């Protein structure tokens, strides 16, 4: 009998020496990136090539495996977002049986294999979606105002505390909006919507002197 | 615009995030082969169009992507309740002010005993 882990998981980035392009590479080239200046009240930064994994299954089995492998607890409540002590690995609630794990680039495949080993015969699914989405960071005093112009979701601190993340409408696309720290917001957008969202953010952020750290 | 309470996300969201999917609680015939053409046609194509309380299926398309039910008044557009799949409505045409609490509890108990409803 073949090893179930070996047959169901494959490395989407087997060789990191192969040149890769961020989903915004074309946007930087075509639209350009305004620099950060003294007047910038919001700074945009893409965190490209991170490892994104979708976990599906029962909360109890996934929680046990995740604690064992990553030392992270599964957010049980809707909208929950947990970070590890370094703040670089995160897990977010997406729906009652679905979670999004984001880890530094290159870690996703090893993590997927360790999770599969830890989960054993449990009923679950793990999908590596790293190539399908990208993460855009917004930082600065006007970041919340910029979001207020872009999404119908209430981003007031009373409704959107640190450690929350929701999937909602962003401009005319959809995005996951997350708030990992007090002054930083994250958008997880589809690769195919990345250029649209980037240009929307530049347009909407013009009045705040938006700058891009490429 | 509706402001809809998603029973899975457990908060109010904009209508933009949802799609209506038609009438709720339509049970597929247990044995389709034994249906008459009329019964099968009713199941496939014919829907209620009541004036007043109506149970509808909606999906939180941009969000948790789960299906759930809404009880809505088609005259006033008021949303009386939203409830998860497998649950029974509290507001019905027979109980426009809501069923008594003990009846709701008894129905919830009956549903929870059905196999597969509890994850």
Residues 6+ positions from A130 with CB-CB distance below 8 Å: A12, A13, A49, A50, A51, A52, A53, A105, A108
Average pLDDT score, chain A: 92
pLDDT score of A1: 44
d(CA A101, CA A107): 11
- Which residue in A96, A153, A169 is closest to B64 by CB distance? A96
| DSSP type of residue A34 | P
Would you say the ipTM is above 0.90?
Answer: no
Contact (CB<8Å) B62/A95: no
Residue A168 and residue B9: Cβ atoms within 8 Å? no
CATH code for the domain of B104: 3.30.2270.10
Chains A, B: CB contacts within 8 A come to: 39
Residue B103: predicted pLDDT: 84
The residue of chain A nearest to residue B61, with distances taken between CA atoms, is A168
Q: Is the pLDDT of residue A15 over 80?
A: no
> Is there a contact between A143 and A132 (Cβ–Cβ < 8 Å)?
no
Report the alpha-carbon distance of residue A75 to residue A78 in Å, rounded: 8
**Min CA distance, B60 vs chain A (Å)?**
10
**pLDDT the model gives residue A18:** 77
β-strands A43-47, A133-139 pairing: antiparallel
Q: Which domain holds residue B83?
A: 3-116
Using CB atoms, which residue from B14, B16, B65 is nearest to A95?
B65
Residues of chain A with Cβ-Cβ distance to B16 below 8 Å are: 152, 169
List chain B pLDDT tens, one digit each, 119 residues. 899 999 999 999 999 999 999 999 999 999 999 999 999 999 999 999 999 999 999 999 999 999 999 999 999 999 999 999 999 999 999 998 888 888 888 877 776 665 544 44
Question: How much is the average pLDDT of A34-59?
Answer: 95
Averaged over A164-178, what is the pLDDT?
96
Q: What is the count of structural domains for chain B?
A: 1
Q: Is A17 on the interface with B (CB under 8 A)?
A: no
- Once rounded to an integer, what is the mean pLDDT over residues A48-76? 94
Residue tagged 């893409």 (tokens): A46
pLDDT of residue A20: 84
Q: Kindly state whether A96 is in contact with chain B, defined as any CB-CB distance less than 8 angstroms.
A: yes
Q: What structural domains and CATH numbers belong to chain A?
A: 25-213 (3.30.1360.120)
Residue B5 vs residues A19, A85, A148: alpha-carbon distances, Å: 46, 34, 21
What pLDDT score was predicted for residue A8? 67
Closest CA–CA distance from residue B55 to any residue of chain A (Å)? 23
C-beta atoms of A78 and B64 within 8 A: yes
| pTM of structure | 0.89
Model confidence pLDDT, tens digit, residues A89-120: 999 999 999 999 999 988 999 999 999 999 99
Chain B positions touching A94 (Cβ under 8 A) are: 64
Position A24 scores a pLDDT of 95
Q: What percent of chain A has pLDDT over 90?
A: 86
Closest Cα in chain B to A59: B119
In this prediction, residues A30-56 reach a mean pLDDT of 95
What's residue A98's pLDDT? 96
| Predicted pLDDT of residue A2 | 47
| pLDDT score at B106 | 82
The partner residue sitting opposite A95, judged by closest CB among B8, B13, B14, is: B8
Residue A13 has pLDDT above 80, yes or no: no
For residue B86, which of B62, B107, B111 has the smallest C-alpha distance? B111
């Amino acid at each position: 009998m073949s090893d179930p882990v070996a047959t169901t998981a494959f490395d989407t980035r087997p060789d990191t020496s192969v040149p890769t392009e961020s989903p915004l590479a074309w946007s930087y080239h075509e639209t350009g990136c305004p620099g950060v200046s003294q007047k910038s009240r919001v700074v945009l930064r893409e965190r490209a090539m991170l490892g994104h994994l979708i976990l599906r299954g029962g909360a109890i089995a996934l929680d046990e495996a995740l604690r064992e492998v990553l030392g992270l607890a599964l957010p049980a409540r809707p909208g929950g977002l947990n970070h590890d002590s370094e703040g670089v690995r995160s897990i977010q609630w997406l729906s009652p049986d679905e979670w999004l794990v984001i880890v530094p680039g290159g870690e996703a495949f090893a993590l997927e294999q360790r999770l599969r080993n830890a989960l054993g015969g449990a009923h679950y699914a793990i999908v590596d979606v790293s190539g399908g989405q990208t993460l855009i960071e917004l930082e600065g005093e006007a970041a919340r105002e910029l979001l207020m112009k872009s999404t119908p979701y209430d981003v007031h601190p009373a409704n959107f505390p640190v450690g929350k993340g929701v999937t909602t409408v962003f401009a005319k696309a959809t995005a996951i909006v997350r708030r990992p720290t007090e002054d930083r917001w994250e958008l997880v957008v589809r690769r195919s919507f990345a250029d649209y969202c980037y240009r929307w953010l530049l347009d909407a952020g013009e009045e705040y002197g938006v700058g891009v750290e490429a | 615009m509706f402001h809809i309470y998603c029973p899975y996300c457990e908060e109010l969201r904009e209508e933009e995030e949802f799609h209506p999917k038609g009438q709720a609680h339509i049970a597929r015939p247990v044995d389709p082969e034994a249906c008459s053409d009329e019964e099968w046609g009713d199941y496939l194509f014919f829907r209620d169009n009541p004036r007043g309380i109506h149970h509808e299926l909606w999906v939180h398309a941009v969000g948790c992507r789960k299906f759930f039910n809404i009880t809505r008044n088609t005259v006033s557009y008021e949303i009386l309740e939203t409830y998860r799949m497998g649950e029974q409505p509290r507001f019905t045409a027979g109980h426009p002010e809501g069923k008594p609490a003990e009846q709701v509890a008894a129905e919830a108990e009956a549903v929870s005993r059905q196999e597969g409803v509890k994850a």
